[in-house]
Amino acid sequence: MASLDAVVRPGARIVLGDGCGAPAPLYAPLSAAAAGKAVRLVVGWVPGPTDGLDPTAFADVRALGGGPGLRGPIEAGTVHFVPCRLSAVPALLRGVLRPDLVVATLVEGPDGLHLGSETSYLRGLVDAGVPVAALLSSAAPLAEVGPPIPSAQVTVVGETAQPPLQIPNAVPTPADEAIARHVAGLVPEGARIQVGPGRLAQAIVAALDVPVRVDSGLLPEPVVDLDAKGLLLDEPSAAYLAGTSRLYDWARGRRLLHPVEWTHDLGRLSSGPPLIGLNAALEIDLDGQVNVEGIGASAAGMIGGHPDFAAAATRGAGLSVIALPSTVKGRPTLVERLSRPVSTPSQDVELVVTERGVADLRGLDRAERRAALSALWDHEVD
């Protein structure tokens, strides 16, 4: 087994594996190996703690995603957030942010080494021949569809029996359940649905009572409940797993994770059975523009695949749905002006759902859209 210090070259750019299976045990050794070498780091979706990962050990750190683990460093300015939709990340990594090394978690399959609980944009880098410094996991599921990674491309620098990050289910609020009932009424039998993790998504999936397919970026744990109820058609498609050991055990060996070049391809998403994009939001303005990045100075969210799925769902026979409570902590989520830049443009928002009901914005002009959203919030505009 090699050391990270031996593979981290001076001046290199490194892409760090993201998602729930990120190589967290390597955070501290990677920081130590990079110190003083002018190494640049690229990170993605980081839902868990970043203990041991020292941004100051790197000459530059760029975030192409976000998440709870990056909130503090982004707000402090030690990590630079690059605004981009997830479908655009592979192009960035082929171009101006092309890495010299990938540091990621791999699992051993019957035919060789594979990515485990996420494929994300890593598979594209692997297929392009970028070397991989691997944390070999005995606990992560093998759930990707790709072929084994050539052994000559991999240097094993650590081993772990630590399972992927656990994202426990939360108890939906009465508002979540009311929103979920409205949303469930919009989903036809046989449709493809896109959902994310979180309390509201859990409530929405629980409210579904027709068979559906799941075609998503993140695959949350409620998909296991869909399967148990006999409402899951075909194998799901996603780039990341996000849940607890119940989801990871269910996914083990199923080969359902694809690279983002597949999962977020607008042409593929907008063809086939209707795609119902079920996206949440932090706030929405009177024109229907959506913010998912944060509130004010707080970097609470990320862009991710939100604009990809919203745009794809407006094509074909699908629906782009934005679901959110009418108030959060006593403040209306409908605002005159977003507190952050627009994450998803208004033309890719078709239906807006709160616990109060549904505003159908299809075919409306700007003034009519503003009136429909105001009526849904009962003119409760901040």
pTM for the whole structure: 0.95
The answer to whether the 4-160 and 174-376 domains have the same CATH topology is yes
Q: What is the pLDDT of residues 218-263, one digit of tens each?
A: 999 999 999 999 999 999 999 999 999 999 999 999 999 999 999 9
The conformation of residue 108, written as its DSSP 8-state character, comes to: E
Letter string b/e over residues 82-121, b meaning 16 or more CB atoms within 10 A of that residue's CB: beebbbbbbebbeeebebbbbbbbbbebeeebbbbbbbbb
- Would you state the CATH architecture of domain 4-160? 3-Layer(aba) Sandwich (3.40)
The domains of the chain are located at 4-160, 174-376
- Topology classification of domain 174-376: Glutaconate Coenzyme A-transferase (3.40.1080)
Cβ distance 275 to 309 under 8 Å? yes
Task: Check if the beta carbon of residue 268 is closer than 8 Å to that of residue 183.
Answer: no
Neighbours of 59 (CB within 10 A): 14
Residue 379: the pLDDT is 60
Q: Taking the C-alpha atoms of 79, 82, 83 and 89 in order, what is their torsion angle to the nearest 10 degrees?
A: -130
The residue among 5, 9, 52 whose CA lies nearest residue 28 is 52
Query: Average pLDDT for consecutive 10-residue bins of the chain (382 residues)?
Result: 94 98 98 98 97 98 95 95 97 98 97 96 97 98 96 97 93 95 97 90 93 96 95 97 96 96 96 95 97 88 95 94 96 96 97 98 97 88 48
| Partners of 14 in the β-ladder | 41, 101
